Amino acid sequence: MVQLAGGASAVLCLKPDDIFVGLTAEIEQCVERQHVDQFAALTGDVSPIHMDDGAARERGFEGRVVHGMLIGGFISRLFGLRLPGLDCILQSINLRWIEPLYIGDTIRIQATVAQWSSAAEVFVANVEVIRPRTQTIVAKGKVQAGFTRSRT
């Protein structure tokens, strides 16, 4: 295990021999205003539903809606830190957004290995993004990932 600077969560370093169908990993994340603001600044996606509570409410939402691809970024973190961790290379993410996510919501991202090719060292995991407060599925999909190779 490798420790991140600043005392952040440990990064796992699973190897191909550690992967099996049914292996599960999860993280929780509270999505804060600063996450949405920084994502909007980085991507230029300043749609009113993401940036203005009033505009979001006028369109039928409870408040500012979290960018769907910000959720995708948190999914990337799960794979880069936990499944398999340090040696992960994401190959594809296929997501479907089911319910809006709002600033201040906490999400639990769960990934379970559904397919594993030991020959190719590639796996497919089913992913669910859940709002624990209501047990609602916010998004779900599939991620395909493999392993990087050290050049040293």
Q: pLDDT tens across 104-123, in order?
A: 999 999 999 999 999 999 99
Give residue 40's pLDDT band: very low, low, confident or very high (50, 70, 90): very high
Which CATH number is correct for 16-147, 1.10.540.10, 3.20.10.10, 3.10.129.10, 3.20.20.60? 3.10.129.10
Chain-centre distance for alpha carbon 84? 14
More confident: 9 or 74 = 74
What is the tens place of the pLDDT at every residue in 128-142?
Answer: 999 999 999 999 999
Indicate the burial class of 65 (C-beta count within 10 angstroms; 0-12, 13-18, 19 or more): buried
Query: CA geometry: angle at 39 spanning 35 and 44, to 5°?
Result: 150
Kindly state the helix (H) or strand (E) to which residue 55 belongs, with its residue range. helix 53-58
Instruction: Give percent of the chain with pLDDT exceeding 70.
Output: 92
Please compute, for residue 31, the number of CA atoms within 13 A of its CA located in the half-sphere on the CB side: 31
Distance CA 76, CA 37 (A): 19
Report CA 132 to chain centroid distance, whole Å: 15
More reliable by pLDDT, 2 or 146: 146
- The whole-number pLDDT of residue 152 equals 53
Domain ranges across the chain: 16-147
Integer-rounded Cα radius of gyration of the chain: 17
Q: How many CB atoms lie within 10 A of CB 61?
A: 14
Which pLDDT belongs to residue 149? 75
Q: Report how far apart the first and last C-alpha atoms of the chain are (Å, whole number).
A: 19
145 pLDDT higher than 90: yes
Q: Which residue has the higher pLDDT, 8 or 2?
A: 8
Among residues 25, 127, 31, 104, the alpha carbon closest in space to that of 70 is found at: 31
Q: Give strand ranges (E) for 1-152.
A: 2-3, 10-11, 24-30, 88-97, 106-117, 122-131, 136-147
